[in-house]
Amino acid sequence: MALVNTRKMFKMAYDNGYAVGAFNVNNMEITQGIIEAVAEEKAPLILQVSKGARKYAKMSYLRAIIDVVVKENPDIPVAINLDHGDSLDTCRQFVEAGFTSIMIDGSHLPFEQNIALTRQVVEMAHPHDVCVEAELGQLGGIEEDVVGVDDVHAHLADPEQVQEFVKKSGCDSLAIACGTSHGAYKFKTEPKIAFDVIEEVGRRLPGFPLVMHGSSSVLKEFVDLINKYGGNMPNAMGVPEAAVTKASKMAMCKVNIDTDLRLALTAKIRQVFAEKPAEFDPRNYLGPGREAIKQMVKHKLHVLGCAGKAAECS
């Protein structure tokens, strides 16, 4: 199967009450762990590339890895998405590179400017059959070059704005700030997801796919491993998986996961180094890291409810 955009994926997800996992990729091992899990669970897949990933690995390398994923897994519908595009020019570069989905993040701009920027990206991308994701409201935390707000509940998406935003911008999906946050240190106290906002936005935009950013759960097993083997991650806290599942059964059709991938890889590498201090072969520590990613992603596909849904999204 060739690369697909997210249009059919989101329709199936919306109609059947689940979300598609969108996983960020930075290198071969992370990508392999993700696709091995997805192939075994027969789930649809969105692979995401951020500005930081492109800086680290170069677009040509990442695209080549993704091309292999598509070629070797013809039964898995795969979309590739630019995560947090910051300008029209950046978005154009990713469209020209063959991406099937573009996320333009104008959430830091005034409302009308956000609409205008998103509209420009839509007008550029749609002739190439590329879907456009936009963002309304602001998240907390830090993810690469994206620095969020301190009080996430003071910057939630305004349900009264969503209809105007979607109509004027022409976007295909909308990431809404609903109390989540980027990074491993998302919250200082028990997180409270604004399900009332999700519900009201869904009511005002019937049938329209929403997106949940900052959704890693910062799984305790990996934080504990990191800390056990020389790390220092006190008070790391993420979005409870029960909350992610609940949102996935609402209008959230895409859920972004990045931090949990990093934690799984780092935890296993630290464990190998601690238990086998003479180890110097990268295959012998990246391999276990890749396997940890695979098992974590398999688990996440069930949290999202998209395991076994590949065929209906094809």
Catalytic positions, please?
83
Non-local (6+) Cβ contacts of 280 within 8 A are: none
Q: Are 233 and 262 in contact (CB under 8 A)?
A: no
What Cα–Cα distance (Å) separates residue 286 from each residue in 31, 81, 89?
12, 25, 35
Question: Beta strand pairing status for 146-147 and 142-143?
Answer: antiparallel
Tell me which amino acid residue 48 is.
Q
Phi, psi of 121 (to 5 degrees): -65, -40
Measured distance CA(171)–CA(10) in Å, rounded? 13
State how far the Cα of 35 lies from the Cα of 43, in Å rounded to an integer.
10
Residue from 203, 152, 206, 209 nearest 178 by CA:
152
CA 13 from chain centre, in angstroms, equals: 15
